[in-house]
């Protein structure tokens, strides 16, 4: 991964998202575009408060420049190329458009915004970006990791599909090292319905375990401490969120299917559930084709 869009608005959460990104290990040089979006009210030119609004916009631009200087300091020791861009308009739409124009592979954004309501629920901007961006998205939520010396705890949700394989490969693009503590999980829900036992169920679960072991081995290659878990559950999204919470994960990684024109407006039920209910950061891998084919056990 070489091209990342970091959206910041001056809030503590957006600064923490930048701090988190600055600590993600990487070997290759990464290009990071730091984007600040200024939302200007549309008012007639002859309206009395127009001059005040213009002054406020200039102050916002000056604040954005100072914010970029702060972020530059965060990445001072990192192998990155930083550039700053300021856009006018609706934040969510501008972030998605910038990611498309710049051909970004990942958008990083805080999971809530500045408003009181946004501190309670998923922020409208982050919700829009997570739903509409055609590339991968990292929604940052604080877990106490940045203010501690402990290693990062990661939950990777896996199933034997190209999208899930792409998620593990994208995660493995970064050399997390021996400090990272990674749990790779698969959810074995009963495809035949509750209360129905099939003679093929054991074989299906054995195949899932084999695929899970292969995925865990791929993640282990980047130096992380890895474990695999095959869980017997009925609700996939709820099970993923509950596991991440029980294991106090800082980051949850999940793959999503290739985005079609309609898919830019609709998200899969599992990924939608995860981003709305997880208490940790969520990394949604999207529109990436796996380098290796999905292997299935006959």
Which of 96, 124, 140 finishes a domain? 140
Q: Which of 143, 243, 137 is nearest to 185 (CA)?
A: 243
Residue 122 has a pLDDT of 45
Contact yes or no for 133/286 (Cβ under 8 A): yes
Residue 23 lies in a domain: yes
The pTM (predicted TM-score) of the whole model is 0.85
pLDDT < 50 positions in the chain: 113-122, 259, 261-267, 294-298
Same domain, 211 and 156: yes
Residue 252 has a pLDDT of 97
Residue 56 has a pLDDT of 82
Tell whether the torsion through CA atoms of 293, 295, 296 and 298 is positive or negative. Answer: positive
Question: Burial level of 201, CB count in 10 A (0-12/13-18/19+)?
Answer: middle
CB atoms within 10 A of CB 77: 8
Residue 260 lies in a domain: yes
In degrees, rounded to 5, the angle at the alpha carbon of residue 183 between the alpha carbons of residues 296 and 252 is: 100
Same domain, 126 and 195: no
CA distance 156 to 51: 51
In degrees, rounded to 5, the angle at the alpha carbon of residue 155 between the alpha carbons of residues 173 and 103 is: 40
Residue 291 has a pLDDT of 60
Residue 201 lies in a domain: yes
CB atoms within 10 A of CB 163: 21
Query: Residue 109 is inside which H or E element, if any?
Result: strand 106-110
Same domain, 157 and 276: yes
Q: Per the structure block, which two tokens stand in for 4? A: 């990342």
Same domain, 155 and 107: no
Same domain, 136 and 153: no
Q: How many domains are contained in the chain?
A: 2
Rg of the chain in Å (alpha carbons) = 21
Query: Residue 36 is inside which H or E element, if any?
Result: strand 30-38
Same domain, 216 and 136: no
Residue 112 has a pLDDT of 67
Full residue range of the structural domain in which residue 92 is found = 3-140
CA distance 181 to 9: 31
Same domain, 28 and 136: yes
């Amino acid at each position: 991964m070489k091209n990342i869009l970091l959206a910041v608005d001056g809030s503590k959460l957006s600064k923490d998202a930048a701090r988190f990104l600055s600590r993600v290990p990487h070997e290759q040089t990464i290009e990071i575009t730091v984007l600040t979006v200024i939302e200007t009210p549309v008012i007639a030119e002859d309206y009395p408060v127009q001059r005040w609004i213009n002054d406020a916009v200039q102050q916002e631009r000056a604040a954005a420049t100072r914010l970029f200087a702060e972020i530059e300091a965060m990445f001072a020791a990192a192998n990155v190329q930083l550039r700053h861009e300021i856009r006018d308009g609706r934040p969510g739409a501008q972030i998605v458009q910038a990611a498309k124009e710049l051909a970004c592979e990942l958008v990083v954004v805080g999971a809530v915004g500045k408003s009181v309501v946004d501190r309670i629920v998923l922020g409208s901007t982050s919700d829009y970006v997570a739903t509409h961006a055609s590339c991968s998205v990292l929604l940052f939520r604080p877990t106490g990791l940045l203010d501690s010396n402990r290693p990062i705890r990661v939950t990777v949700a896996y199933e034997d599909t190209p999208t899930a394989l792409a998620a593990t490969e994208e995660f493995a693009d970064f050399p997390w090292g021996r400090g990272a503590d990674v749990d790779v999980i698969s959810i074995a829900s009963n495809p035949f319905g509750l209360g129905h036992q099939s003679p093929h169920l054991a074989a299906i679960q054995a195949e899932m375990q084999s695929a899970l072991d292969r995925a865990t081995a791929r993640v282990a290659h980047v130096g992380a401490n890895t474990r695999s878990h095959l869980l017997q559950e009925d609700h996939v999204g709820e099970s993923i969120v509950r596991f991440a919470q029980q294991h106090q994960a800082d980051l949850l990684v999940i793959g999503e299917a290739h985005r079609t024109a309609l898919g830019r407006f609709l998200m899969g039920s599992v990924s939608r559930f995860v981003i709305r209910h997880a208490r940790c950061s969520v990394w949604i891998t999207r529109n990436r084709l796996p380098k290796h084919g999905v292997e299935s056990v006959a």
